[in-house]
Structures are given as structure tokens and as C-alpha cells.
Structure 1
Amino acid sequence: MAKSDSVTRSAVLHRDTRFVPKKAVGGKGSYIFLEDGTKFLDSTGGAAVSCLGHGHEEVSQAVINQINQISYCHTAFFGTEASEELARLLTESTGGKLSKLFVVSSGSEAVEAALKLARQYFLELPTPQPQRTRFIARKPSYHGVTLGALSVGGHMIRRQPFEPLLSSNTSHVSPCYPYRGKKAGESDADYVNRLAEELDGEFQRVGPDNVCAFIAEPVVGAALGAVAAVPGYFPAMKAICEKYGALFILDEVMSGMGRCGTLHVWEQEGIVPDLQTIGKGLGGGYAPVSGLLIGEKVVEVMDRGTGVFRHGQTYQGHPVACAAALAVQKIIQRDNLLENVRKMGAYLEERLRGCLGDHPNVGDIRGRGLFWGIEFVKDRESKEPFSPETGVAFQVQETGLDPSHGISLYASNGTVDCTKGDHVLLAPPYNVTKEEIDIIVDTAGRVIEAVFAKVNAA
């Protein structure tokens, strides 16, 4: 984050206790305005959140209208039209295949709800299967910071301080990461078969009748840097889940709700999940909101069983959050913004490859729609990553934050093996223009050149 020296004047527990970030004092479109006068280009939407940019007056008005009508009521007593209409819109967007929506405030909460509902599903079956207590996830996935979500996550840097507190009922298999995972000369089909055999083997190792679900991100976000699976991967993974009677969970908190060019990423994969988490692009940052979309087969089992999800939160289905999400989703539909995501995403890819494709320290450029990652390497031929001590990705992020550049480049490390490896993400708003894409790529190019001029000279 951008730093100032006023540490002692803040009572906020910031992400780093030793520094206070500069204050944002306004925002409009793709830009955030800072207290020091910097006009900051938010090319990542924060953490791939601000899908309509900042200061969208229609969404702001929808929030105000809901506050004026009713700002809060407890879902144990009452429902609201905002939550009902949002649920109708989202379930209809799946063709009714996912027929219920559970609304909470963050992606971590949505994942927690998915894990608990997966467990309860097996307890509610006509012949209950209480032995199903295990989950299979992927390395080095990220599914959230709460203890359950962190337990299924496979990102060791995030897990390490809390390992003694985490559940031991999750095991991890390899991700579909073609840049590093595919062998020389291996076809996509052979790669998929190898990963399918690995997942099948893990079911066998832990006992196929003990597994609740397999959980994966269709396009891996912060942990790997916008890595999409090769064709056929997700149908193969779902087939193994069905073979052993486990549920298939897709975590679309970061990659979904239009970010990759379709409202749901699974539409591009030819499969439908049993449970799907959604978040960031759902409400575009105008209110804290996330959700769990629930497959009809799970709903039917619950209906025939107790009918009660043994999980509830004070702010679930919050009217203001639902109103914000509903306004965002209606605007995406009305303005045909998914088409703009696809069109501007193709242009962003073209510009990134043209600007950085031959850079000696850029190993891979990958992504879908308006969700792109740039992986950095010390050597392109060997794909050798930089040492963690160099902190390449965070140098890129920090350099971008300097007022001379004024751009967000979302950094993460541990890309290769949860310890080594660096990448940055780009995730501009769905209504981004061609001119703004040019500014994003040109500025990112200058930042990357400046960082590696310094790194390679050291």
C-alpha cells in the first residue's frame, strides 16, 4: 500500500501496523482520487471487485432508496423484496439448475456456508452418510481467511501461522496449471487424464465414501494469477465426483459474476456445479455482499429432510447489500456489459502480449475476459522464479502506487510452490474503454520496465 508517516495518528489496525495508507477521498469510473491529489487508475478493481468502477450513480441511488425503505431486518423473522428479486435474477441466470441463493457478506463466509451445506446434504439424504467428512481441494488454491475456508485452501503462505487451528479433513491435489504443470509434448487431453487419475487416486486414498466434495476455482485468482483450466478439465473432475457420489463445488468469488466474459465461468466449461460461491463482482464493491448458489438436487434433499440449513448469520440477506447487488446485476444486463468484457478482454490480451510478451522477465500472460495475470521469472527458458527475498511482485505493486505512475497492479507470491514465484493481476471494470485499456497497459509496461531495470542491475 502507499505509505505515510502518520502511524501514531491511526487507531485502525491496518494491513501493516507500521504504515498508514494514503486516504482515498473520492472515486469516479476507473479512477480513485487520493488525499495528496493523485488520480489513481484502479486497473484491478481493488481485488477484482469494482466491476462498474466507482461512483456509479444508479447503484448509489438504489442503496439510498433501500436504506430509506428499510435498512435491516433479521431473516429469522422477515424477508425483503430486494433479497427475493436478487435470488430470482441469479437463479434464473442458471436456467434454474441452481435454484436457491443464500446471501452473506464476504467470499470467506460463502465458502464456509458451502462446506457446511455439503456436509448437511449427506446427513439429510434418505439414507444418511455421516461418514462423509472430508474435502478435496487443490494446491495452491485460496478460498478465504476464515478457519474453514483456510482449511480447504492450499496456499501455504496464508495457512502457515494458523496450521495448528485448521481442520485436518482436507487434502490437496495438483491444479490445472498448464504453464508449469503440462509436460513437454503432452496434449491437453493427456494432461487432463493425468490430473483426473490424480484426483481419482486421492478419492481412493482417503476412502471414496468419506468425501463430501471437491472444491476448485474455475479460473484461479490470487493464488496463481488468473490461471484457467485447459479444455475438458472440469468435466473430467465432475465425472469423478459423480462416480463416487461427492458434491462438486466451484468457487467463483473472484472469477465469476461476469469477470471472465460470462455471468458464470462454468458456462464456458460445459458443466454445472452442485454448489457455487459468488462474491466480488456480485455487488461491485457498493456493499459487502457474497452468496452461495445451491443446486436443485441439494435443495430437493433439504426439502425432503429437515428443510432447515443449520447455519445462520446476523447480516445474511441484508437488504442494502441485496439492493446494491441487484442494481449492479441489472446494469450489467441492460448495458450488455458482458459483451464489453469479452471485447475489451480480447483487446487487453492483445495489448499485453504486444507490450510484454517478449520481456525477458515475463514468463506467462494468461487469463479470460477482463481477468489477466502476468507471471514473472528470472529466466524464461528454464522458467526459474525469483527468490522470495527479492519480492518482485510487491516491488511492481509498490512502484505502481507511486504518484508518478498511479496505477494498481495486484501482487501475489508463492505462485510456483506456495513459496517461490511472483505474479500480478489486472481486473479493470466491465465498462472499461479501449482508451483506458491503452493507459493501463502502457503504464503497467513502464512500471515493469522500471522494476526489472533495478532488479537485474542488483
Structure 2
Amino acid sequence: MKMSNVLNDGNVIVEAKVNRVNGTPKSSILHRHIHHDPITVKAASGNYLELSDGRKVLDATGGAAVSCLGHGNQRVREAIARQMGEVSYCHSLFFGTTAGEALGKELINGTGGRMARAFIVSSGSEAMEAAMKLARQYFLELSPSQPARTNFIARKESYHGTTLGALSVGGHVTRRKIYEPMLLGNTSLVSACNAYRGQLKGESTEGYVARLAKELEDEFLRLGPETVCAFVAEPIVGAALGCVPAIPGYFKAMKGVCDKYSALLILDEVMSGMGRCGTLHAWEQEGIVPHIQTIGKGLGGGYAPVAGLLIGHRVLNTLDKGTGAFAHGQTYQGHPIACAAALEVQRIIREENLVENVSRMGTLMSSMLKQRLDAHPHVGNIRGKGLFWGIEFVRDKETKEPFDPSLGIAMRVHQKGIDPPYNISIYPGSGTVDGKSGDHVLISPAYNVTEADIRLIVDTTARVIEDFFAEF
């Protein structure tokens, strides 16, 4: 039962439906697939999307874990309008804005002062590019005698962005594949921390952590410790693995290796951060503080294209004693409207205690998902934190054998869900096992969901999965 005429776009298998009128494509936009025009969203409010064909779809994922306040928040709309009345754009080389300054203060206060400065850009990929460049500059400013610090170590089955630098430190095989000849040669990969697939039978948590720490240290030694800029990792791996959290003690051990060789720790919290996992920053649950952190999706909740870096004191102090400048800049860096939108989103999260709600509702979601789906013969693993949950599908529960990638299981589950009678959007992903095979779906609703919302999301998701495999 294989899908015909399919394309693996590096994220999910999508069916190539031809949408043409008299031989001409309908749309003037280059969509994800040139022959497949996506259905139009004509309105959105709260947790629901209204589609052009009349369907009302429950958005159980906020797009890709983006819409953390749901859709159409009046306070954010008003904040954007106020900012447009003040200034819509100015060049950050010459000017600052009140929105940018206020957002920076909000973000640094949110770390309890453990981070020193914020740097605001327009996307997670841009944030990772900036993080890599900042890490390189840090070592040049620290000591002109360290020009060899050019290498980055990241992890297999990871994703850090779509631009060439960010893609180079990502380990998602399919997304990298056609661009391999263009990717950076100064990146290498070690094993992900994925207990479901990586921890050996009978191996203790401490033993698994020690084995991964040794693998990282061995990679430092292979490259030459004096050549390594940073280790890059997602605290909870989102799109590539389907919400896989690190096991206890992992990040302390990894940071220990970095500290031993004076390298930086860069944590990518574009998808898992800004409250998504039950604390404002995912690293707060790991007992560490990164040197550089990327943030994104939950920063602006989808109300404007916005992402950024949070920069630690060690890095900032080195720049302060050196050139006093970051040799990097972009046209839309610190965009006033994006900053105003993000500022209001963050204020709402703080004032309405939404991170606490994420933690409470996440506990409910976890127990309900496991109660409903743990025993399903094709559900291999349910994992996550807060309101960031993944469900991995397997052909065989005992052996953990994945489905043939050509079947497009995750995308088919998504497609079934979005159609009546379910009318729910759940986020599909592929390459869960090794970047090529494996299927999962994500559930990542808005931070302000209620108990009733959670029960509806879990019940509907479970019915979609149960019905899909019953028919399959």
C-alpha cells in the first residue's frame, strides 16, 4: 500500500496533487509543492482556523508550535497598531526603538539576569546563523591566538534551521541531502539523546549519560579541542524527532565536557522555548545556563516574524573588553513591529501566568495521551514536556521497526485529521529514526488552553489515530 506520485520535502511526505487550469498553475506563489495549492485560511480565532471550503479546524499544534496565544488576540493586535503609529521601520545601525528596548528588558528579566543581552532577528534560521557567528567572534576576541576555533559539534536527528549554516549543524538527513555539497565542512555530529531508541537494554540512566558524554568528548579530541567553537543542541528535539526530551543529567554532563575544553554551549530553543515546555526556558529544567540561546516560535506567537538570541555574560563580557561590537547585522534586525508584537505576547504570558498553565495542562495531556494510546499496537512512544508532545508510530511495537517511508504514515494521519468528521490539525514529521525512516506527529496547542480544550484535543487525536490504523 504505497503512495504514488509523492515528494519527500525533508519534513513530511506530501502527495503531489496537480492543481492546474488549462495547463497553468492556479497560484502565482511558489508553494511547498508547485502542483499542490494549499487550502486557504480565510479567518482564525482562538484555537480554530476557518478554511475557504467552509471547514472549521481545531488548531492543535499552533502551526509548528508557534501560535502560543491562539489566533486573533486583541491585545497583540492593538500593540501592533500602536507601534505602526509610532514607527514601523528604522535601520538598527543608526537607531533604536522603545519597543526593542522594552522587549530586551522583558527577555533578560525572564532569565532572572542569568543571560545578559538579547539580539532580535526575523526567524529561527537567522538566529542560528547569528549564534554560530557570535561563537566564532567570541574566540577571536578572547584571544587572537585562537583562530583555529571554527568547528561546531551538533547531534544526529536534529534540526536547527534551513539556511546553509543552520542546515550544516542540523542532522536531519533528508533535509540536508540535496544541499550536502554546499554545506559547511566544519560541523560534525554525535548521537542524539533519545532514550526510546538509543538507550541500551539494561543500561542505567547514568550509564547512558556517561556513554553520550564520552562520545562528545571523543569528538572534541578527534577534532582537537582547540578547534571547537561550540556544541549545539535542542533541549527537547522538536521537528526532527518529535518532542524528545533529554534524560536527567544529560545536559549537565554535556556542559561539563564543553567547560573542560572551554567551548561554548549553544541551546536551540526556537521550538521548545519561551514557555512551551512548562518553564519559560527549557534549560531551567536541566540545571544549567547556556552561553548562547536561540529563541523563536513562542517569542512572538506568530503575530510577527520574530526570533532572537539570548547572550550569556561570558560572551558579552568578552566582546565588551574587545571590539565592543558584534560583526553581524541584518536589514530587519530588531524590527519595531516585530518587537512590539513579541513584547505584548511575552507580557500576556507573564501577566496571565500562562507558563504555569502550560505545566498544569501538560500534565493532564500527558496522562490522557498515555491512557488512551500507550497500548495501541502502532504507537511506539509518547513523549514530551509541557504542551509539547510527540507520538511516534511503528510497524512493530516490540521491535520498534518503523513503517516504510514511502507510505507517508505521518502525513496521512494529518490528512485524515484535517478532514471531516475530525477537523483537527496535528503536525506530521518523518525521518524520526535516522533522518530517513520513521513517523511521528506533534501536538502543541496554545498556552491558554483549558481542561476542556485538552480533553477535546486528546480525544480527537486518538480517534484519528485509531481510525486511521483500523482502516490501514
TM-score, normalised to structure 1, is 0.98
Residues 1:145 and 2:162 aligned together: yes
Which SS does the other structure have where 1:354 is aligned? helix
Which SS does the other structure have where 2:436 is aligned? coil
Matches within 5 A, 1:54-133: 54-133=71-150
Alignment partners' CA distance in 2, 1:309 and 1:127:
16
Matches within 5 A, 1:171-190: 171-190=188-207
Q: How far apart are 1:89 and its partner, in Å? A: 0.9
Question: What is the CA RMSD across the aligned residues, in angstroms?
Answer: 1.2
Which SS does the other structure have where 2:349 is aligned? helix
Matches within 5 A, 1:3-22: 5=19, 8-22=25-39
Q: How far apart are 1:13 and its partner, in Å? A: 0.5
Extract structure 1 runs of 4+ deviating beyond 3 A. 1-7
CA offsets 1:172-221 (integer angstroms, 9 cap, x no match): 00011000111111111111000000000000111111000000000000
Residues 1:217 and 2:234 aligned together: yes
**Structure 2 partner of 1:32:** 49
**Structure 1 partner of 2:251:** 234
Q: How far apart are 1:9 and its partner, in Å? A: 2.0
Alignment partners' CA distance in 2, 1:353 and 1:97:
36
Matches within 5 A, 1:277-292: 277-292=294-309
- 41, 51, 58: which is aligned to 2:58? 41
Residues 1:444 and 2:452 aligned together: no
Runs of 5+ unmatched residues, structure 2:
1-13
CA offsets 1:354-402 (integer angstroms, 9 cap, x no match): 1111100000000000000000001111111111111111111111121
CA offsets 1:71-103 (integer angstroms, 9 cap, x no match): 000001110010001101111111222111110
**Structure 1 partner of 2:337:** 320
Q: Is the 8 A contact 2:19 2:26 kept in 1?
A: no
- 163, 168, 171: which is aligned to 2:185? 168
Aligned length: 455
Q: How far apart are 1:453 and its partner, in Å? A: 2.0
**Structure 2 partner of 1:411:** 428
- 243, 256, 270: which is aligned to 2:287? 270
Q: Is the 8 A contact 2:124 2:307 kept in 1?
A: yes
Which SS does the other structure have where 1:159 is aligned? helix
Q: How far apart are 1:227 and its partner, in Å? A: 0.3
Runs of 5+ unmatched residues, structure 1:
none
- 269, 276, 286: which is aligned to 1:252? 269
Q: Which amino acid aligns with 2:188?
A: S
Q: Is the 8 A contact 1:218 1:252 kept in 2?
A: yes
Q: Is the 8 A contact 2:213 2:254 kept in 1?
A: yes
Q: Which amino acid aligns with 1:292?
A: L
**Structure 2 partner of 1:367:** 384
Q: Is the 8 A contact 1:26 1:33 kept in 2?
A: yes
CA offsets 1:287-311 (integer angstroms, 9 cap, x no match): 0000000001111111111112111
Residues 1:208 and 2:229 aligned together: no
CA offsets 1:404-451 (integer angstroms, 9 cap, x no match): 321111111111111111100000000011111111111111211222
Which SS does the other structure have where 2:70 is aligned? coil
- 385, 401, 407: which is aligned to 1:384? 401
Which SS does the other structure have where 2:425 is aligned? coil
Q: Which amino acid aligns with 1:300?
A: N
**Structure 1 partner of 2:360:** 343
CA offsets 1:281-338 (integer angstroms, 9 cap, x no match): 0000000000000001111111111112111000000000000000000000000001
**How many percent identity over aligned positions?**
61
Q: Is the 8 A contact 2:430 2:440 kept in 1?
A: yes
Q: Is the 8 A contact 2:239 2:429 kept in 1?
A: yes
Q: Which amino acid aligns with 2:362?
A: G
**Structure 2 partner of 1:303:** 320
Q: How far apart are 1:6 and its partner, in Å? A: 5.7
Alignment partners' CA distance in 2, 1:308 and 1:181:
42
Q: Which amino acid aligns with 1:168?
A: G
Q: Is the 8 A contact 1:4 1:22 kept in 2?
A: no
Q: How far apart are 1:4 and its partner, in Å? A: 8.7
